[in-house]
Each structure stands twice: as C-alpha cells, then as structure tokens.
Amino acid sequence: MNSSYIRYILAKMMQIEGALLLVPALVGLLYQEYHISFCYVIVAIISEACGLIFGIKEVKNHTLYMKDGCIATGACWIVLSFFGALPFVVTKEIPNFFDAMFESVSGFTTTGSTILTDVEAMSHATLFWRSFTHWIGGMGILVFILAIIPLSGGSTLNLMRAESTGASVGKLMPKIKSSAAVLYLIYAGLTILEFILLLFAKMPVFDSINIAMATAGTGGFGVLNDSIASYSFAAKWIVAIFMYMFGVNFYLYYYLLFRKFRKAFHMEEVQIYFGIIIFAIVAITWNIIGMYGSFFEALTDSVFQVATIISSTGFATADFDLWPQQARLLLMMLTFVGSCAGSTGGGMKVSRIALLVKTIKKELLTYIHPKSIKKIQMEGKPVEHEVQRSVNVYFVTYAVIFVVSALLLSFHGDDQETILTSVTACMNNTGPGLSKVGPTCNFSFYSWWAKCILMFDMLAGRLELFPLLILFHPTVWRDLFDRKSEERKLRKKNN
C-alpha cells in the first residue's frame, strides 16, 4: 500500500477544503453575520494547517493501484465530512457533534437527509455551506482535485474509478486531468444555467444560488422549511427538469458538446432512464389525480416527485407520504433504481438494473437452449465478464448492508416503514423516506448510534460500497502497520 501518496492526496484535499470554507465566510460577511463568518475562517485555517502538515513530507512513489485508490477515496470522504461538520459545531448552530457530522455527511454525499427542524433559523453562511457541500460532493472531491492539481503518475484513473458512480468508468480524453476538467466545466455550466433560469422565474438571488447548487449535486437541502413548495410553478418545473438532467450520464453532454451525436443518441442507459421516468409520471399522475383540483397540478407534483426521487435529490413540493399506496410504492422502487452511471445522482444506477435484467434473461434462455452461447450486450457492445461479476457482487453486498443496517436500526424501536425507508433513503442518497422520515419530517429523533449507522449507509451508497468497506478490512491496517514498522527499522539502521 502506497501510504505516502495516500497521505499526500489527503493533504491536498484538506487544503482545498480549507480554501472552500472561505466561500461561506464571505457570504457571512455579505449578510453582516460577522461572528459566523469568523468561525468559518477559523475552521478554514485549521483545515489548511492540517493539510500543510500532512503534505510536508516528500512523496517518492507515485504509483496508485486500485486498492490504494479505494483507500484514498474512503479516507478522503470521511475526513472531508469531519472538517465540513466543524463549522456547524463552532458556530453552535448544530452544537451536537453527531448531529453536525450527520448533516455534513448528508451534504457531501448529496443525500439531503437532515436533522434540522427549522431550516430558516440558520444563518445565510450556514445555509450556503449546506448547499455548497452538495455541489462539492456531487461530482466528487477527488475529481475536483484531479481537475485542478496535476497529480503525478499514470494510475490516477484508479482515483476517478473509485469515486465515480456506475458499473465502469473510463477516460473521455487522453489525460485524466483533461477528462476531470471537462466534466467540471459541464457541471459548472449547467449549474450557472439553472441559476439564471431560476432568477427569471422570480426566485430570490440567494435562494436561486442555493437551489441550483443543491440540484446540481442532486442533494436536496433547501433554504425554506417547506423545501420547494412555496415557489412558483415555473421555478418548480425548472428545478424538475434540471434534476432529470443531472441524473443523466455526463458522457452524454460531452458527446453533444463535441458533436459526437451518434454516440450521444445511442446511449442505451439514457434511453432506459427516460423510459422509466415517462412510465412513472403517467402511472403516478393517474393514481393521484383524484386528490387534486386540476390535471396540471397533479402532473406538476408527479413530474417533480419522480424527478426528485429517481435523481436522488430529495426536494419536495408535496407530502407524498399522504399519496395512495401504489404511488408511494412506485416512488420507493425508483429510489432503488436511481439515476444513470456517471451522473451526480444516487441509487443502484440504471445501468446495473439493466445488466441484472439482461443477466436474468440470458439465464432463462440457457435453461431453454442449454447449448446456446449468448453474450450480454449494452449499446451494441458485449459486456465483459468482469463487469458482470462486479455488478452481481455489488447487488449481493448492497443487500447484505441493507439487511444488517435495518436489523440494527430495529433496536431503536421505530415502526417498520420508518426503519426500512430510512436505510433506503440513506443508502440510495435520496433524503426523504416515509412515516417518521417523510418529506415533511426529519432524522433528528434518531439516537447518536443510529445516526452513525445511517452515516455509514450514506457514505457506502455514495462511494459504491467498496471504497468504504475496504477501510474495515484487517489486511489494509496490517499492511499499513507493517510498512511503518519497516520504515522505523530502516531509519534505525541508517542512523
């Protein structure tokens, strides 16, 4: 294990987070929240100093294997969330550390689950920081590092693969730095476009910035207690459309940007994604139309809630916990499906669901025609056995974590619907669930140990399970301590 290079990446991440913490400090100054602004500056200095200390030692080996990429990714996201939680504690707006950590993890993983009962009581700086964590975590902090810092070594693709979502990740351009930069330019461009459109929809400037960042990261932290419900119909439709857009594989926008239209319009996953969306909107609108005064109102809420669930954003225009059983069940199913691979959305991803369905179909054909040889294909290309194996392992691992988390939460004493949808919302990075964690409720009633379980689920879901799980493998720590022991022996020998 290349611990020195992992330490170097952690150092860079802390330095970048220190710089990013100055942005909400400036927002605090703009709104004359001087004490809050000062607190953010203090935390920024602490983060920056820790980064400088961690990065003071020179790195000699720049090789980064997949295992190292996963360890670096898991460690970075935990440390990122820790420093992200400090402003909440220091400003005393969320004085309890476990609550602050829950809010930070929920922000960076773009889950959107919250412990806050009165969002509007928060300072402008903290409201901005909550939405900003969505924007930072949406595309990924390591993708951001790769975009702006020239990390040495040709194996940095392993960092991108460990953090990015979906069955497989490749390079858009010959250099990883160029690929990461293009992705972030597309990401930033879409965010700015949504911000401008929301201004035209007469949404206040501060609200527009926050909602645009939260939509881009498919996170769902709002600045009002009713989330999106009190905004205009135009604003709701703009947010809904952009939630769908940020749930699309970003390779589509790359292909469109560079006029590779043939590839763009033959992305099978995107076609399935929009097929699921259309079916869900029609089914839910038909199911809830009797609860509304007009078809347009029912359609608006249906379009919005399908968008917020399948993209894992978590905004709300209506309390869908009051909808008929069929609509609620369909929304929970969409939570598991999620958005496309290579998007900012959560869930299992459409590509994995499609591959699983095709695997089942192939297995049935094998029973019918035992001697037939059929390859599973996506977008007209055969899917490698390694990809199929990783998808199958992902589903098994997901199921194990889900069952264990739900079993542990059952000791909290809540009803079954609350427990199951809490785990569902956190593992799929969706935000709201049903019953006690419905769209009009929050997660504040959970005890500290229950919040720790849900924080683990949020991180596991955002990092596609394995980059977090690998940190708990004994071999990783044994390799680390053995390496440290060898280094000490070598220093004594040299002295």
Mean of pLDDT values over 281-300: 93
In tens, the pLDDT along 263-272 reads 888 889 999 9
- Is residue 339 within 8 A of residue 310, CB to CB? The reply is yes
Range scoring the smallest mean pLDDT among 7-21, 136-150, 289-303, 449-463: 136-150
In tens, the pLDDT along 342-371 reads 888 888 999 899 999 988 888 888 888 887
pTM: 0.90
pLDDT for the residue numbered 124: 96
Mean of pLDDT values over 427-438: 92
pLDDT for the residue numbered 167: 46
- Is residue 162 within 8 A of residue 73, CB to CB? The reply is yes
Q: How confident is the model at residue 208 (pLDDT cuts 50, 70, 90)?
A: very high
Q: How confident is the model at residue 389 (pLDDT cuts 50, 70, 90)?
A: confident
**Count of beta carbons in the 10 Å neighbourhood of residue 50:** 18
Between the CA atoms of 369, 371, 372 and 373, what dihedral angle is there, to the nearest 10 degrees? 140
- Of 448, 344, 351, which is closest to residue 111 (Cα–Cα)? 344
pLDDT for the residue numbered 291: 92
Neighbouring residues of 55: CB distance < 8 A, sequence distance ≥ 6: 7, 8, 11, 12, 15
Q: Cα separation of 43 and 80, whole Å?
A: 12
Neighbouring residues of 282: CB distance < 8 A, sequence distance ≥ 6: none
pLDDT for the residue numbered 493: 62
Q: How confident is the model at residue 169 (pLDDT cuts 50, 70, 90)?
A: very low
Between the CA atoms of 406, 336, 431 and 47, what dihedral angle is there, to the nearest 10 degrees? 90
